[in-house]
Amino acid sequence: MKAMKTAAGCGAVLALVGVLSGCSAEASHRNGGDSSSEGAGGPGGPGATGGPGGPGPGGTGGYDESFGSVNPTTTGGTGGGNPGENGQQNGESCDGKFTGRVRDFKEEHPDMEPQDVGKCSNCDDHMIVTDTLGEDLKPIYAGGPDGTMTTTGKANFDMWFRDMEGVNMPKNITLQFEDPDRDGVWTYNDQLFFPIDNELFGNEGREHNYHFTFEMHMGFEYKGGEQFTFAGDDDVFTFINGKKVVDLGGIHAEQTTIVDLDELGLEVGKTYQLDFFFAERHVTDSHFRIDTSIEFINCGVEVK
């Protein structure tokens, strides 16, 4: 499946696509990204200047004048956020760098290689998460006690995007985007997205470290005309203004979804939140690509 920038789309597209495209460039974590196991997110967020620092009040996302739109809860729950030190607080450009949090799992986790516990390992699964984001900026599990086609229940899913000692090992990584055409469209493209090979729990005897999740959180000012195209494998969930706009749940080859932000009821000139969640749960491929002209107002917020 291929993602192509058309003449209309090149100027305003956020795409995460699992194949090469004619008007974008590859910028892998290994070649351009930085990594950090420290707490605060580093510089990130393609092509924009940083917004004011400090997390806003508790909530599920959406518009928040105190901190753009990024407002991780600060009381109770398992969430809580720290703004990146560069860009977001001092107003400098994110310079194509965007920080998120990866969590490594052992293959024995029931949701990793789910065929080992009788679940499907080659299925779309759109019943995993609800349509709204949780107050702790985490997806809410939608499955029942017996799970879904590819997941085994709420308790195991709730480990995916939360730091859980003994269950997963977390690390912050910074992805370096590039704008080779100098058209305001920033690209990150990695057809072998294995950012923690030989790290954390290690490869467990395999060629790559296959079993991990990744999340990113950022605010942006809506200007009108932006599009959002995402493709990848395995699971991808994306929320804008606290509402789910991309659901590529399940274990599958790379897939693509296009979102027209003009159809989301956003108000031009106001800031909103985009929350992004990715899971790699099955061998053997891991594709990851983003093309974006959205002007982020921070460079990544860490939500543990």
pLDDT tens, 241-252?
Answer: 999 999 999 998
The pair of structure tokens assigned to 36 is: 């950090």
| C-alpha span between 67 and 57 (Å, rounded) | 9
Q: How many other CB atoms are found less than 10 A from the CB of residue 2?
A: 12
Write down the pLDDT at residue 275: 95
- Looking at residue 93, its pLDDT comes to 59
pLDDT at 180: 86
Q: What are the b/e assignments for 73-105, b being 16+ CB within 10 Å?
A: beeeebbbbbbbbbbbbeeebbbbbbbbbbbbb
Amino acid at 141: Y
Q: DSSP assignment of the chain, as one string?
A: ------TTTTTSEEEE-SS--TT-----HHHH-EEE-SSS--S--TT-B----S---SSSSS--TEEEE-----SSSS--EEE-SSSTTT--B-TTEEEEEEEEE-TTSTTSSGGGGT--SSEE---SEEEEE-TTSSEEE--BTTB-SS---HHHHTTTTS--TTTEEEEEEEEE-B-TTSSS-EEEEESS--TTTTSTT--TTSSS---EEEEEEEEEE--S--EEEEEESSEEEEEETTEEEEE--EE-S-EEEEEEGGGTT--TT-EEEEEEEEEE-SSS---EEEEE---BSSS-EEE-
Which region, left, alpha or beta, applies to residue 108 given φ > 0 means left and ψ of -120 to 50 means alpha?
Answer: alpha
Residue numbers of the chain with a pLDDT score lower than 50: 1-81, 83-92
Among all chains, which residue has been given the structure tokens 């939140």? Answer: 273
End-to-end CA distance of the chain: 33
* Cβ neighbourhood burial of 263 (10 Å; 0-12, 13-18, 19+): exposed
Task: Specify the pLDDT at position 43.
Answer: 31
In whole angstroms, how far apart are CA 278 and each of 6, 8, 54, 76, 291?
Answer: 26, 27, 25, 25, 16
Q: What is the pLDDT of residue 227?
A: 81
Per the document, the length of the chain is: 304
pLDDT at 265: 96
Q: What is the pLDDT of residues 130-179, one digit of tens each?
A: 999 999 999 999 999 999 999 999 999 999 999 999 999 999 999 898 88
